[in-house]
C-alpha cells in the first residue's frame, strides 16, 4: 500500500522532530518542525504540547498559510505564525526547524 503525499509529509515532520530530539538538540517538547505542502499555501507542523519521543504522524497539524486548520485534533505550535511568515517570504524554503 503506497502512502499518500500528505502522509509522507507528516512522516517527514515526525522524522525531523525525532532526529533533533535524539541528537540532543532539543528537549522533549522544545522547538518545532514544519514542512511546506509542495506549491500549495499549506504546511504541516508539530503540535503544541508535543513529546518528540512518542510523536506520531496523526498528531501533526495541517494548516493553510492563513492559519485555517485543514485537519482535526491537536493545536499547532504557538510558533506557527513565524513558520508561515518564513514560507511566505522565502518561497524556496521547504522546511523550518
31 vs 7, more confident: 7
Q: How many CB atoms lie within 10 A of CB 88?
A: 11
Give pLDDT, residue 2.
63
Query: Given a cut of 70, is residue 87 above it in pLDDT?
Result: yes
Give pLDDT, residue 43.
98
79 flagged as catalytic: yes
Q: For residue range 8-33, what is the model confidence (pLDDT) as tens digits? A: 999 999 999 999 999 999 877 778 99
pTM of the model: 0.92
List the chain domain ranges. 5-96
Domain 5-96 has what CATH class? alpha beta
Q: For residue range 34-86, what is the model confidence (pLDDT) as tens digits? A: 999 988 999 999 999 888 889 999 999 999 999 999 998 899 988 999 999 99
DSSP state of 72: -
Query: Given a cut of 80, is residue 3 above it in pLDDT?
Result: no
Query: What burial class does residue 79 get, using C-beta atoms within 10 Å of its C-beta: 0-12 exposed, 13-18 middle, 19+ buried?
Result: middle
Give pLDDT, residue 1.
45
Amino acid at each position: 500500500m503506497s502512502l499518500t503525499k500528505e502522509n509522507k509529509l507528516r512522516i517527514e515532520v515526525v522524522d525531523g522532530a525525532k532526529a533533533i530530539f535524539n541528537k540532543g538538540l532539543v528537549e522533549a517538547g522544545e522547538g518545532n518542525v514544519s514542512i511546506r505542502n509542495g506549491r500549495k499555501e499549506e504546511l504541516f507542523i508539530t503540535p503544541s504540547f508535543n513529546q518528540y519521543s512518542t510523536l506520531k504522524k496523526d498528531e501533526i497539524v495541517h494548516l493553510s498559510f492563513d492559519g485555517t486548520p485543514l485537519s482535526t485534533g491537536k493545536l499547532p505550535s504557538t510558533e506557527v505564525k513565524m513558520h508561515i511568515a518564513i514560507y511566505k517570504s522565502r518561497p524556496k524554503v521547504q522546511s523550518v526547524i
